[in-house]
C-alpha cells in the first residue's frame, strides 16, 4: 500500500509521550540512549517525568518531538510499515528529511539541537519590557483573506502557517498580535486564538536565528532524498541534498505552506496517510483539507498494532 508519513512539529508534545513505544521496542530504547548522549539531556526523564512546562521550552520541545517522531517510524518499520513518501510540519520536516535518507540519525538530532538552541536564544532577545512577540491562529477564513486583513494591522506581523483552508497562523510583535484580533473578527474569522509559544516562528523576525543556524550546519552532509519529501517552504518535492540544506535555513523565517504540501501529496496518489508522531494535530488539518482520505494517527503503540 502506497503510504505517506506526516510528521508533527512543535505543539504536538505532551508529558509521557512515547513511553509505550519505549516500553515495547529495544530499538527505541537504544535511540533514547543515543539522543540523550547527543543532547546532554536525560530524554527518558524529560519525556516521561517532565512537566508540560519543561516540554514547552523550545530547545527541549524540538528534541522531544523529533525523538517520538523517529521512534514511531522505527516501530512502524518493525511492524513492516515503511513509507513511499513523507512530509513534516515545521519542526517535523527534519524527521521527514531523516526518513527520506537526507540526514543520518546522529546528524538529525545534532541539527535539531542546534535549531532549538538558536531559536530559543533569538526568542529571548525579542522579549522587551514593552511586550513579547508571539503567534495566533485565525480560524474560519482563507489565508488570502488573512493576508489582506494583515495589511491593516499596525506593527510587524506576518503570515506564518497556511495550515488548512480555514486555519492560518500569524506571527509578530505582541501589540500587533493583540491588535489583529479585532481586524480578523471584522474580516469574518470565527475564532482567534493567541498561542502559547516562545516567539514569532516562521517570520522574518527570526532572521538572526536563521543566520546562526546556517553557519552552524554548514559542514553537515545532506544527501539526496531516497523517497519523495515535500518542503514547507516551497510546497513541492525537494530534489537534492543541496536544496534540502538551503531550505532548512529558509524554513526558520518562511511561512509553512502546509496546504501546498497536502495538495502535492494528494496529487501523488498515496493510498494511506499516517500521522507519524505524537498527537493528532495533522489529522485535523488533513480533514479540513480533504475528507475522502483519512489521516490516521499512529503515535501510540496500540494504534500501530491496529494497522494490521
Catalytic hit among 25, 39, 90, 164: 90
At residue 195, φ and ψ (nearest 5 deg) are: -85, 145
Q: What's the 3-state SS for the chain?
A: CCEEEEECCCCCCCCCCCHHHHHHCHHHHHHHHHHHHHHCCCHHHHHHHCCHHHHHCHHHHHHHHHHHHHHHHHHHHHCCCCCCEEEECCCHHHHHHHHCCCCCHHHHHHHHHHHHHHHHHHHHHHCECCECCEEEEEECCCHHHHHHHHCCCCCCEEEEEEEECCEEEEEECHHHHHHHHHHHHHHCCCEEEECCCCCCCCCHHHHHHHHHHHHHCCCCCCCCCCCCEECCCCCCECCCHHHHHHHHHHHHHCCECHHHHHHHHHHCCCCEEEECCCCCHHHHHHHHHCCCCCEEECCCHHHHHHCC
* Closest C-alpha to 119, from 61, 168, 173: 61
State yes or no: is 202 an active-site residue. yes
* Closest C-alpha to 264, from 137, 65, 76, 96: 96
CA dist 204 and 157 (Å) reads 9
Catalytic hit among 202, 203, 231, 260: 202
Residues with catalytic function: 90, 202
Amino acid at each position: 500500500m502506497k503510504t505517506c508519513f506526516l510528521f508533527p512539529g512543535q505543539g504536538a508534545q505532551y508529558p509521557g509521550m512515547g513511553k509505550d513505544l519505549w516500553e515495547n521496542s529495544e530499538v527505541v530504547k537504544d535511540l533514547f540512549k543515543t539522543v540523550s548522549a547527543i543532547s546532554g539531556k536525560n530524554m527518558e526523564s524529560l519525556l516521561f517525568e517532565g512537566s508540560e512546562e519543561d516540554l514547552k521550552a523550545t530547545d527541549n520541545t524540538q528534541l522531544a518531538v523529533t525523538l517520538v517522531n523517529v521512534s514511531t517510524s522505527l516501530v512502524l518499520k518493525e511492524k513492516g510499515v515503511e513509507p513511499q513518501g513523507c512530509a513534516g510540519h515545521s519542526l517535523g520536516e527534519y524527521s521527514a528529511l531523516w526518513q527520506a535518507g537526507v540526514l543520518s540519525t546522529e546528524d538529525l538530532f545534532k541539527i535539531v539541537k542546534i535549531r532549538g538552541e538558536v531559536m530559543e536564544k533569538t526568542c529571548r532577545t525579542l522579549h522587551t519590557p514593552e511586550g513579547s512577540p508571539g503567534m495566533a491562529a485565525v480560524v474560519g477564513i482563507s489565508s488570502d483573506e488573512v493576508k489582506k486583513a494583515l495589511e491593516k494591522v499596525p506593527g510587524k506581523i506576518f503570515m506564518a502557517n497556511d495550515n488548512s483552508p480555514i486555519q492560518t497562523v500569524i506571527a509578530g510583535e505582541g501589540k500587533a498580535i493583540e491588535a489583529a484580533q479585532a481586524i480578523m473578527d471584522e474580516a469574518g474569522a470565527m475564532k482567534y486564538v493567541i498561542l502559547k509559544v516562545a516567539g514569532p516562528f516562521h517570520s522574518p523576525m527570526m532572521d538572526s536565528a536563521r543566520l546562526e543556524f546556517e553557519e552552524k550546519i554548514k559542514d553537515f552532509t545532506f544527501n539526496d532524498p531516497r523517497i519523495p519529501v515535500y518542503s514547507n517552504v516551497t510546497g513541492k518535492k525537494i530534489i537534492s541534498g543541496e536544496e534540502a540544506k538551503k531550505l532548512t535555513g529558509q524554513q526558520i523565517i518562511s511561512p509553512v505552506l502546509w496546504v501546498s504540501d497536502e495538495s502535492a501529496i494528494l496529487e501523488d496518489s498515496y493510498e494511506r496517510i499516517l500521522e507519524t508522531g505524537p498527537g493528532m494535530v495533522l489529522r485535523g488539518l488533513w480533514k479540513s483539507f480533504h475528507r475522502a482520505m483519512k489521516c490516521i494517527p499512529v503515535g501510540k503503540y496500540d494504534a500501530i498494532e491496529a494497522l494490521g
